[in-house]
Structure 1
Amino acid sequence: MHLFVPRYQVGIDSRAKNVELLLDLRQNNVQMVGIYGVGAVGKTTIAKALYNNIVHCFNEGIFLENVCEMSKTNEGTIQLQNKLLSKSLRDSCSNVNSIPEGITMIKDRLCRKKLLLVLDDVNDREAIENLLGDCDWFAAGTKIIITTRDKQVLNTLGNLGVYKVEELDFHESLELFSWHAFRRREPEAAYRQLSMQFIKCANGLPLALKVLGSLLRGRNHYEWQCELQQYEVIPAEGIQNILKKSFDRLEQIEKDVFLDIACFFKGWDKAYVVNMLEACGLCPNSVIPKLIDKSLITVDQFGKLSMHDLVQQMGREIVRKDSLEYLGQRTRLWYYKDALDVLNENTGTDKIRGLMLCWPEPEPRMMHLDAKNFKKMKNLKFLIVRNVHILRGLEYLPNGLRLLDWSDHSSPLPSTFHPQSLVELNMPYSHITLEEPFGQGIRLENLKYIKCGSCESIMEFPALCTPNLEVLDLSKCKNLIVVDESVGSLDKLEIWNLEGCEKLQTLPRSLMLRSLRYFDLRDCLMLEKFPNILPGMESLQTLLLSRTGIKGLPSSIGYLTRLEKLDLSYCQSLMDLPDNIYKLQHLSVLEISHCTKLKIDRRLTYHPFGSEYGFLKLEYLNLNNCENLTELYLLMMPDYFPELQYLYLDGSNICMIPESISRFARLRRLGIKNCKQLQKIPRLPQSIRTVCAMNCISLNSQSLSCILSQAREILGISPDKICQGARSDISVDPQSSNRLSHQSVLSSLPFDEFASEAKRSISEDEDIDCKFILPIIDIPKWFNHQSVGNSISFWVGPRFPKFAFCIAFGPEAQRGGFVCQVYLKINGCKKSINVFSHEEEVCDHLWLFSKSHWELQKQLNDSNPSKWNHVEVVCNLDSPDGGESLPTFIKGCGVHVKCTCHPQTFDFFNANNDNVDDDFRQEQRSAVWNILNVSKREICHLMN
C-alpha cells in the first residue's frame, strides 16, 4: 500500500532519486541510507515518495513514523516493535511484552525477508538498536532508510550512505508557494512581488512555503502586506512548532550556545565566537559540532557561522516568549525597538545576558541615557551598539562584559569599569583613551581583540597586561604618537594594524612577536625608524611599509624567514636595502616602486648564491619609478630569482637590460613603460607573454625587431604563411576595406570532420594569451590581413586557428586617456575579447595581442558554426570615465590567422567561373547573405 504524500510536491522526485542512487537497488546487499537536514525541509516527504517508488521491489515495506517521540518511553518503543513485526509478517497478533523480547523476535522472524524499512525522525542510536539491532539481521537485498535532524546519529552507524536535504531553490520555492496560495504553478501578476518577498522569508523550507501560501490564499493585497509586516517580526506559529522540536531536545548548555548565535552571532567568524563563548564557560568547541550535526547551524567555507533564517527566528521567538510583556525580563535583546525601550525606560534587569542596538536609519540615533543605565544589568555579557550617539557620558558598565562593541562612542569609558573578563574591545571612531581603564595595572587575561581604529583621542598606546592579545587594530588613529615597549613582546599577537597613523613616531625598539602574521604600517608618514627584529620571529608573512618615512631597514630583517610580502613602495626617504634582505627566501612579492632615493648598488651582488641567500620564491618584483635605478645589477644574478614571473621597471633611468635576462626562465611580464633612456633590450626568455614598452623613445630598431620576432615565435606564426585571399588595405581608400571580394571561402573537409578535429585541438594546442605594446609605427608585414581604420574581417572553418591582432595608433594623440575595447564578431555574435586602458596620451604605438585558443573556440562554438564562419574584429575607443565614444585615432589594424579565405583572384559571385561547383557557390552565398542580412538583389547591387 502506498503512503499518503500531500499534493503539490515540488522538488521531491529529484531528491528522492538521489537517495535511490545511494540505496543502489542493483546490488543484492543490505544497504542503509541516512537522510538528514533541518526540521521542515522535507525529509519525511522524500522518504515517503521514495518508498512509494520502490516498495514493489521488496517482499514487504514498513514505514515507522515519529520514532523519536515514541522511543522516549519503553511503552512507545514496544509499540514500534509490535508495528514492525505485524507489518512485516502481516500478523496482527504480534504481542511484544518487553524491549529485549521484541529485539529477539525481530531478529528471529525478519531474517529471511527482503524488506524496505524506513525509520522516520530518529534522534538517537538506541532507538535504532531496539528496532534493527546492528542492521545485520536482515536478508540480502534489504534496504533501510533513516531520517533525522541529527547527523551524529548517522555517524554512529558506520558504513552507510548519507544524503543532506537542501532547501528548495528560487524557482521550486515560487512554484510550491504558488500552488498553495493560488492553486496554480505561478503567482498571479498582481501578487508576484509580494510572493517573492514571502519566498525570501521562507528561505526554501517546504513547510514554511506551504504554511505561508495556505495562510494567504484568498486574501486581498492589503491583507498580504499586513501579514508580511507581521511575519517579519513574529514568525508564523505553525512553522515554529515544527522547528522548535530540534531545540527542545538540546541540553541546557547547547540551548544557551544556540540562542547566543541565533540572537547575536549569526554570520560571525566561528573561531571568534568560540573565544567569546568559551569565556562564558559554555564549552563551544564541543557544543557547536553537535548543533551542526543537528542541522541547527552550519559553518561556511569562510569559517563563518550560519543558520537558516527560519531556524534563527525560531530561536529568537523562544527568547521573546520568555517574557512577552516585560522586555527587561528577557535574556537577550536584539531587536532595536525593544533595546531602545529598555534603555529609554531604564527597565533593564540582571536577567539580560546580551543587548544589541543597531539603529537601521542612515543618520545616527541621538539618545539621552541615565548615566547608570547599565547598573541593573549586572549579568550583561554582550553589548553591541551601532549608529547610536549618547548625549552624556556613562558612569557604569558591567565588569562581566565579554564583548564591548560600540562604534562612535562619544565619551570616555567609565573610570569604574574594570573589565577583567573582556574578550573584545571594538570601539572604532570613538572618543576614548586606553589609559583608563586599561592602563591601571589590571591583568586582562581574556582580552584577545582590541579594535579601536580611527579613534582620534588616542595619542599613546599604554603598557597593558594582555598576554593573550591576538588582534591589535589602531588603524587611522591620526594622533597616535607612541606605542609602549611592552607591545613588542606580546607572544600571542597575530595581527597588528597601524595603517594611517600619520603622527606615529615611536615603536618598541625591538620586536619579539612569535605569532605575528600581519603587520601594517602603511601611511605612517612620520615613522623614520623600523624596530630591530629579534631571532625567533618567524611567523610574519606580510609586512606593509609603503608611504612611511623610514630611511632604511635593520639588518635583522633577515630573521623574518617566513615573510611572503614586503611593500616598501613610496618610501621616498629610503636610501638603501640591507645585505640580509637576500635571506628572505619565502618572499613572493617585493614592492619597491617610487622609492626616489633608493640606490641598488653592486654590494648586493657580492653574496655567493647558496642555501642562505636568494629570493627563491619571488614571483613579483616592482621597481617602478625608482629614479636612481640606472643599472640592473640584480638582473645579473638569475639564480637568485628562479621563480620570477613579473618584473616592473617603468619610469626608471636604465639604459640597457642585461643579457642575463634571457635566463629568467619563468618571466612572463616585463614592464618598461616610460624608460626614456632605455636603448637596448636583448633576447627575452621564451616564457615572456607581455611586454609594455610604451614611450621608450630611445629604444633602437634592432631591439624592437627582436621583440617582434620573439612575439611571432611565441604565437607559432611562420612569416611565409601568407593568406592568398588576404590583402593589405593600408594603402587604399578606407571605404573599400569592407568590400566582399576578399570574403571568399574554401574548405575541403566535411563539417563533422572539422568539428571533431576542433575538439581535439583545444587540448593539443598550448593556450597563449599575450600582449606587446611597442613604439612602432607600421604594422609588420607578417600580419596577413591588414586594414585602414578600426575593423577587419576574415573567414575561418569550424576550428578557430591561432590568432594574433594588432592596432596601430596614429600620430594624433588622444589627450586625457582612453579605453580601447576590442570586440570579436563571429557569424554576427559579438563579444568583447580585450580591454586596453591608458591614462596618458598615446601616439605612434603598436598594440599586439593574442587570445587563448580555448576562448576563441568557445565563442566560435556558441555562434552556430558551419564550414565557413565570418569573423570581424572591431576596436572602439571610449573615454575613461565611461562617457561617449571618442573619435578614432587608430591608423589601422592587422590580423595574422590561418584563415579559409580564398585567393583574391577568385570571385565566387561570378556565375561563369568554372572552377567552383554549384553547391559551394550556393553555400557561400547563403553564408554571406546571413551575415550581412541583405537580399540577393542587394548583394548583386553591391557587386556592381
Structure 2
Amino acid sequence: MAIITTKAASTDEVLSDRRPQVFLSFRGADLRNNFIDHLKEAFKLNNIRYYIDELEHRGENLTILFQRIKESRIALVFFSIRYPESAWCLDELVVIMEKMKNDKLRVIPIFFKVKPEDVRGQKKEFGVALYGEGRRRRENMPKWEDALEAIPSYMGLVLDENSPEAVFLAKVVESVKEVEAILKTEDRGREGSSSSVPIRHLTCTLPAYEQRLEQLEERFGFDPAVTQIFGIVGMAGIGKTILARKHFDKWKKRLAVNMMLMGIHERSKNEEGSDWLIQDDKIFKSKSFIFLDDVSEKTQIQSLLDNLHRIKKGSKIVITTRDKSWIRREVDDTYVVPGLNEKEALQLFHYHAFHNQDYSPTKNITKLSKKFVDYAGGNPLALEELGKELCGKKEGHWETRIKTLPHCCNEIIRRELKVSYDKLTDQQKDGFLDIACFFSSEDKDCLTSLLASEDFHKPDEAVNVIGDLAHKFMIRVSAGNIEMPDILCSLGKELGLFASVDNLGKSRLWDHNTVSKALVGKEEKEDITVRGILLDVSKLEEEISIATNKLTLMPNLRYLKIFDSSCPRQCKVVDAVDCKVYVPDELELCLKNIRYFHWLKFPSKELPPDFTPQNLVDLRLPYSKIERLWVDVKDTPNLKWVDLSHSKNLIDLTALWNAESLERLNLEGCTNLELFPKDEGNMKSLAFLNLRGCTSLSFLPEMENFDCLKTLILSGCTSFEDFQVKSKNLEYLHLDGTDITGLPHTIEEFQRLIVLNLKDCKRVNTLPDCLSKLKALEELILSGCSRLRSFPEIKENMENLQILLLDGTIIRDVPKILLSVANSVDKMNLQRSPSVSGLSLLRRLCLSRNDMIISLQSSISDLYHLKWIDLKYCTKLQSISMLPPNLQCLDAHDCTSLKTVASPLARPLATEQVPSSFIFTNCEKLEHAAKNEITCYGHNKGRLLSKTLNRHNKGLCFEALVATCFPGSEVPEWFGHKATGAVLEPELPQHWSENGFVGIALCAIVSFEEQKIRNNNLQVKCICDFNNVKTSSSCFNSPVGGLSETGNEHRTIKSTHVFIGYTNWLNIKKCQEEDGQKGCFPTKASIKFQVTDDIGEVRNCEILKCGFSLVYETGSWEASTRRDDVEQDDVEQGEVESLEKKKVSKSMMANCGATTMRDHKVSGEASCSSTKS
C-alpha cells in the first residue's frame, strides 16, 4: 500500500538518502565522456540519486560494484555496439539479471544506437564484439548469453542513428521518474502485489493505450467547479491502473493536494476498518485529486465515502476495481476498459515477441500469432507476457506452446488472474470452475439451471452467481449466451483438475488421459471428490471400456459429457460404431446428483434401471442406439432440455410423459418415430419442439394445452399429411417439405406467428383467405410450392410482413398481391408517410422461377422499405416497372424475355444512403435504351450516395456503391479512360481529388464464351496501385460488380457481359492526411481487373476491355433529347413530388450523358455532352 501526497504549488522537497538509487551500467569507451555526462547533469536537476563506477576510489576491489547493484532499486543498462567487449560489463549484467528475477530491481534497457534484436540474438556487430571474429567462447559465456537474452526482453528505450540525443535523454529521465514514483510506494511497504506496475506498461506508447486514455478523458471530463467520482473497471491485466495513473499524472497539477493510494485490497487485509484513509486531513482542506487503486469492495473505502461531504468542492476521486457490481452505486460514471481489437492486439504481441514494432513475421508465424492473440482475448497483460515468453524462441517452440496454452497458463498471467479468483466466495468459485472446465460457451438459462443445486439455499442464488462472475469480468454474457475468456479457462482448468484447497476439495476431470485412468481402473474405492467428467473421444488414441460400477463410485458426479470435438454433428461417421467408449451390458448409473448427462452415441437401447433422473436438468444422447429412455415411470421434476437427435431406433417417448419442466425437445432425424404421445401428459412447459426429418411421423395431436409452445419444426417430415395443431402461441412454424395439402382455417388464431415456412410443399394448391389476418407475420415462405396458383387477396394490412418468397410457384396474378398497397399510397408524399397499408414493411420479395409473370405492376415502386427483389429465371418477364427507392438488390438473372425497364429505373431520393446492385446477366433481349437507363441511374445514385458518405465522414468505402451487369461488349463512350485487356494505366491531372471529387466509375467487359462459368459468388474486382504515393495505403482493392448468393445453386453466364461499378474508395487525400503526408496527389495509376470466386482468380474467362473515369458532384446527367428533364443530381428534399409529376420523354439517349468531368478538365463547370452510338 502506498500513500503519496504532494502540494502542487510547492517546491520539491529535498529527497533523503532513502530515494531509490539508479545504477548505470555502460561501456565507458562508448558513452562516458558524452551522453553519460549530460545524463548526470539531468539527474542532478531532477534530484535523482544515481551511481556510476567513477565514484569508487581508485585501487579498491572492483567487486564493490556488485554491492552497489544490490543496493540500487533501478538499473539503466546502456547496450552499445562495444558493450559486450567488456567482461566487467557482462558480469555486472549477470548480477543485474539475478536481482531482477528476484523482483528486487527494476531494469530499463537502453539500446544506444544498436537494435534490440541484435542484442537479444547476439547478432551482427554486437555479436562480433561479444565473440570476436573467431566466435570464441569466454569462461562465463553461458551466463552472459542468458543475461543478454533476458534483459533486452523487457520494453526499454531505443536510440537510433538519426534520433536527437537531447530528446532521447529527456525520455530516459522521464522513465526513471515514473519508476521512482512506484518504488516510493513500495518503500513505505504499502503496495499490494496485485497493483504492481511493471516498467513495460509505463514506457508503452502504443496507439491502443493512447486511444483508451482519450476515451477515458472524453467520458470523465474535468470540471474544476464540480466534485466528481469516477470508476475505472475491467478484468485483471486490462490496463486499469496504468490508464488511471496517466490520467492522474496529467491532471494532478491543477489541484492543490494529490493522493495516490495503491493496492487497497491488500492493505485492507491488515487494517481494521477504513479509517486510515482519512487520517491525512489535507484532503479536506483543499481541492484534492485522490486515486484509489484496486478496490475490491465498498467497505474498503467506506470511511472516505461517508465523509464525502467534507471534501472541497471541485475535488476528483478516481477508483479502479475489478468488480463493477458495487461501484456503479457510488460513482458519477464508470469507464469499462475495453480489450484490444485484433489489429491492436497483434501490434502489442509482436512488439514484445520481436521487440520491434516494424518486424515483418513469416506467414506461419503470423498465423500462429493470431492464435496467441485469440487466446489472449484482447488482454494487454496476456499479450505482453506471451510475447515476452516467445521472444527469441524458434518457430517449433511457438507451435508446441500454442497446443499447451489451454491447460498450461503463463505463470505471470496465472498469478494476476489468481488474485481475482481468490476474491470469490465459495459458491462463486464452484460456478467459475464448472464453467471453465465444462461450459465455457453455454446458454445462460441452461447454465443457470445446471448451477442451481442443493449447494445453493435459494433458487435465485445461481442467477446471482452468474451475475457476480459477470460483474467481476470472469465471464461475459452476450445475447443470452455465457462465454469465458480463454485465459481464464486455462486458469480454471489448472485449478479444477485435482482436488485441492483452491477448488474446495473437488475435482473436475477434463483431460482425456486423466479421465481414461479414472473410468478404466479396477480400484473399488469410492471417490467423493469428482464433480464432473468431460471426455473428448477424438483425443483418445485407443478404445476404452468403462468398468461396470466406476461411475456409481462417484456419488457426487454432477456433470458427465462424452463428446467428439472433431465433428459434433458426426457428418463423416454417422452410422459407424466408432464411439471409442464401450460399456458393459450391466453398466451401473446410480447417479442421484447428476444434472448434465451428455453421451454421444450412447450404445445401449435404454438407460440402466438404476438411473435416477431426479436432479437431471439436461439430457443429451445424440446419435445413440436408444429405443426408449426407461420403462418404468420416473420423476423428472427438473428436466428442461432433451436432445435425442439422430437416434434412429427411437420409437417410444412415454418416458417424458410427466416431464412438467421440459422446455426443449430435439428429435431431429429420429426416422423410426411414428407417433408423438396422444396424451401429452404434463409437458405443458414445452416451448421448442424439433421433429425435422422424422420421416415416419404422420400425426401430431392438437396440442391445445401447449400454451408455452413457440417453435414447431416439422421440416422434411415426408409422411406428415394433416396439420391440426391448435397451440395458439406459436411464433415459428416450419412445415417445409411435408405432405400437407393446405392449412386449416384455424390458422387465423395464430396471432403471434412470426415465421410461416411452407417451402417445397408440393401438394399445396391454395391458401386460406384468412392469411392476411396474421398481424404479427414477418416472413412467409412459399418457395417451391409448385401447385400454388393463387395468393389470397390482402384485405387487411399485413403491417409486419417483411419477407415474401414466391419463387417456384405458378401464381399468375402477382400484381394483386400489391394492389392494396397501391390503393392507399400517397405517391407524392412517400418519404413523409412511409407507413402504408397492405405490405408496407415488405423488405424481401422473391418471384424467381415463375413462368407466368410478364410484367411487374407499377405499384411495386411504393414499397418504400423493399430491399431485395428476386426475379431469377422468370423466362416470360418482358418489362420492369419503376423500382422502390431503397432497393439494395435486383436480381433478374436469366430473364431471357426481358426487354425494357422503367425510366428512371427507380424512384430517386434526395439523400441516397443505400448501396445497390442490379443484375441482368443472360438478359440477351435487353434493349439498348434499357441498358443506358440502367447505367445512368447507377451513375447518378453512386454520385449521390458518395456525397452522403462524405458528408458523414465515411468517405473511405471499400465496396461498390452501385454495381450493375448486363450483356454487352463495349465500354460506354463517356468513360474517360479505356483500354483493351485487363490493365489500364491512366495519367491523372494534378489535384484531381479536389473540386468536388466524389469517386470513380469502373468498367470491365468480360467474356464467358470460351467456357460457361458456374458459380454463385462470381466477382469482378480491380487492384489499383498509385506509383508515386509513398504510403502503405497506395494499393487499393475494390469490387466492380458480380454475383453473390448464398446456397448451393450455381448459375451459368453464357456470353460477354458489361460490369460497371461506382465507388468512392479513391479518397487519397484522406489516406495521405491520416499518414501525415503532404504534397500533390498521385497522377499515375495502374489498374488491373480480374474475375474471382470463393477459391481465387477465375482463369477460364477473359477481360476483353476496361474503363475508368472520375466522378464529380458538380456533374449532371440528362438525355440529349430531353431538354426539359430534371437534372437528378440537383434533387433536393421536397423535390421528389415535382419529379414524380414530370413527364418522362419516351425517346432514350443513345449513351448515358453522365458528366464525369473528363480528366483533363478538373476545374470550372462540367460539360455534359452525349455521344450517340
What residue is the counterpart of 2:846 in the other structure? 648
Once the two structures are TM-superposed, the CA of residue 260 in structure 1 deviates from its matched residue by 1.8
Aligned partner of 1:448 in structure 2 is 640
Residues 255-264 or 402-411, more deviating = 255-264
Deviation string 1:399-423 (CA, Å, 9 cap, x unpaired) is: 3211111112222321221312111
The DSSP-based 3-state class of the residue aligned with 1:8 is helix
- In 2, Cα distance between equivalents of 1:376 and 1:52: 60
Structure 2 residue identity aligned to 1:372:
N
Match of 1:675 in 2: 874
Q: Does 1:584 align with 2:774?
A: yes
Cα deviation for residue 519 of structure 1 reads 2.3
- Alignment check: 8 A CA contact 1:771 1:847 kept: no
The within-5 A match list for 1:857-876 is none
Shift of 1:673: 3.7
Name the counterpart of 1:147. Answer: 320
Question: Aligned-pair distance for 1:833?
Answer: 2.2
| 3-state DSSP of counterpart to 1:621 | strand
- Residue 836, structure 1, aligned to residue 1043, structure 2: yes
Maintained 8 Å contact 2:1010/2:1100:
no
2:624 is aligned with 1:430: yes
Write out per-residue CA displacement over residues 390-442 of structure 1, whole angstroms, 9 at most, x where no aligned residue: 22343324132111111122223212213121111112111113x332x6333
Q: Deviations over 1:572-621 (max 9, x none)?
A: 122221222221222222221222222327xx33x7x3xxx343322332
SS in 1 for 2:284: coil
- Residue 573 of structure 1: which of 763, 766, 775 is its match? 763
User: For each residue in 1:145-169, what CA deviation from the matched residue of structure 2 results, as whole angstroms up to 9, or x when unmatched?
Assistant: 3232222331231x43323344567
Which one is further off, 143-152 or 419-428? 143-152
- Paired letter, 2:426: Q
Change (3 A) 1:328 1:28: closer
Name the CA shift for 1:685/1:161 in 2 (closer, same or farther; >3 Å).
closer
Does the aligned pair in 1 maintain the 2:546–2:581 contact within 8 Å?
yes
Equivalent-residue separation in structure 2 for 1:778 and 1:198 (angstroms): 50
User: Aligned letter for 1:468?
Assistant: S
Q: Alignment partner of 1:339: what SS? A: helix
* Contact 2:639–2:661 under 8 Å retained in 1: yes
Cα separation, partners in 2 of 1:401 and 1:782, compared to 1, 3 Å: same
- Name the counterpart of 2:615: 421
Q: Tell me the SS of whatever aligns to 1:128.
A: helix
The one-letter amino acid of 1:423's match is V
Corresponding residue of 1:367: 544
Corresponding residue number in structure 1 for 2:684: 491
Contact map agreement 2:1040 2:1061 (CA 8 A) in 1 = no
Q: 1:579 to 1:149 in 2, by over 3 A?
A: same
- Give yes or no for contact 1:545–1:567 (8 Å, CA) kept in 2: yes
Amino acid across the alignment from 1:622: L
* DSSP 3-state at the match of 1:255: helix
Distance 1:848 1:665, change over 3 A: farther
Shift of the 760–833 alpha-carbon distance from structure 1 to 2, 3 Å rule, reads same
AA partner of residue 509 (structure 2): L
Who is 1:296 aligned against? 474
Deviations 1:542-592 (A, max 9, x none): 222222211111111112222222221211122221222221222222221
Any idea what the Cα deviations from partners look like across 1:623-660, whole Å, max 9, x if unmatched?
Answer: 22224647754344435333334433333232544746
In structure 2, do the counterparts of structure 1 residues 364 and 572 end up closer, same or farther at CA, with 3 Å as the change threshold? farther
SS in 2 for 1:458: coil
Amino acid at match of 1:128: I
* Offset of residue 39 of structure 1: 3.6
Pair 28,400 (structure 1): closer, same or farther in 2 beyond 3 Å: same
TM-score by length of 1: 0.73
CA distance in structure 2 between the aligned counterparts of 1:212 and 1:810, rounded to whole angstroms: 52
Structure 1 residues 465 and 888: alpha-carbon distance in aligned structure 2, compared to 1, 3 A threshold: same
Which residue matches 1:272?
A: 446
Partner of 1:37: 234
- Cα 1:787–1:696, aligned 2, differ >3 Å: closer, same or farther? farther
Q: Contact 1:824 / 1:871 at 8 angstroms: preserved in 2?
A: no
Structure-2 change in CA distance of 1:844 and 1:385 (3 Å)? closer
Identify the residue that residue 292 of structure 2 maps to in structure 1: 119
Q: Within 2, Cα distance between the matches of 1:504 and 1:186? A: 64
Counterpart residue type for residue 521 of structure 2: E
Q: Cα offset for 1:25?
A: 4.3
Question: SS at 1:711's partner residue?
Answer: coil
For 1:496-645, what aligned pairs fall within 5 Å after superposition? 496-534=689-727, 537-538=728-729, 540-600=730-790, 604-605=792-793, 609=795, 613-627=796-810, 629=812, 633-638=816-821, 640-645=838-843
Of residues 664, 670, 675, the one that matches 1:477 is 670
Match of 1:885 among 1075, 1093, 1099: 1099
CA contact (8 A) 1:769 1:849 kept: no
Residues 826, 863 of structure 1: 8 Å contact kept: no
What SS does the corresponding residue of 1:446 show, helix, strand or coil? coil
Q: Is the 8 A contact 2:596 2:618 kept in 1?
A: yes
Shift of 1:284: 1.5
- Whole-Å separation in 2 of the counterparts to 1:409 and 1:571: 35
3-state SS of paired residue (1:709): coil
User: Structure 1 residue 378 and structure 2 residue 575: aligned?
Assistant: no
How far residue 671 of structure 1 moved from its aligned partner, in angstroms, is 3.8
Deviation at 1:188, TM superposition (A): 12
Amino acid at match of 2:636: L
What SS does the corresponding residue of 2:543 show, helix, strand or coil? Answer: strand
| Cα separation, 2, equivalents of 1:926 and 1:850 | 22
| Other structure's SS at 1:63 match | strand
Q: Once the 2 structures are TM-superposed, how far is the Cα of residue 841 of structure 1 from its aligned partner?
A: 4.6
Write the distance in 1 (CA, Å) between the matches of 2:1057 and 2:348: 59
Counterpart among 317, 330, 334 of residue 162 in structure 1: 334
In the alignment, the residues of structure 1 paired with residue 326 and residue 714 of structure 2 have an alpha-carbon distance, to the nearest angstrom, of 51
Q: Does the Cα contact within 8 Å between 1:11 and 1:168 map onto a contact in 2?
A: no
Report the Cα distance in structure 2 between the residues aligned to 1:122 and 1:862, rounded to whole angstroms.
44
Give the Cα–Cα distance (whole angstroms) in 2 for the partners of residues 691 and 220 of structure 1: 53
| C-alpha contact (below 8 Å) 2:498/2:508 kept by paired residues | no
In 2: Cα distance, 1:111 partner to 1:785 partner:
74
The aligned residue for residue 499 of structure 2 is 322
Alpha carbons 1:594, 1:626 under 8 Å: kept: yes
Q: Is it true that 1:390 corresponds to 2:563 in the alignment?
A: no
Could you tell me how far apart the structure 2 residues matched to 1:493 and 1:596 are? 34
**Structure 2 Cα separation of the partners of residues 183 and 313 of structure 1:** 26
Aligned CA distance change for structure 1 residues 281 and 470 (closer, same or farther; 3 Å): farther
**Partners of 1:223 and 1:576 in 2: how far apart?**
67
Secondary structure of 1:371's aligned partner = coil
CA contact (8 A) 1:489 1:513 kept: no
The answer to whether the 8 Å contact 1:792/1:893 transfers is: no
Structure 1 unaligned blocks of 5 or more:
89-105, 717-754, 902-922, 928-944
Larger mean Cα displacement after TM superposition, 26-35 or 43-52: 43-52
**Unpaired stretches in structure 2, ≥5 consecutive residues:** 1-5, 7-180, 184-196, 565-578, 822-836, 911-945, 1027-1035, 1074-1078, 1117-1158, 1164-1173
- Describe the shift of the 1:531–1:242 C-alpha distance in structure 2 as closer, same or farther (beyond 3 A): same
Quick one: which amino acid aligns to residue 642 of structure 1?
A: S
Q: Does 1:459 align with 2:656?
A: no
Aligned partners of 1:427 and 1:453 also within 8 Å: yes
Paired residues of 1:23 and 1:32 also in contact (CA < 8 A): no
Paired residues of 2:537 and 2:563 also in contact (CA < 8 A): yes
1:248 maps to 422
| Aligned mates of 1:3, 1:448 — CA distance in 2 | 54
Aligned to 1:285: 463
Q: Does 1:336 align with 2:512?
A: yes
**What is the number of residues matched between the two proteins?**
818
Q: Give yes or no for contact 1:790–1:893 (8 Å, CA) kept in 2.
A: no
Does the residue aligned with 1:377 lie in a helix, a strand or coil? coil
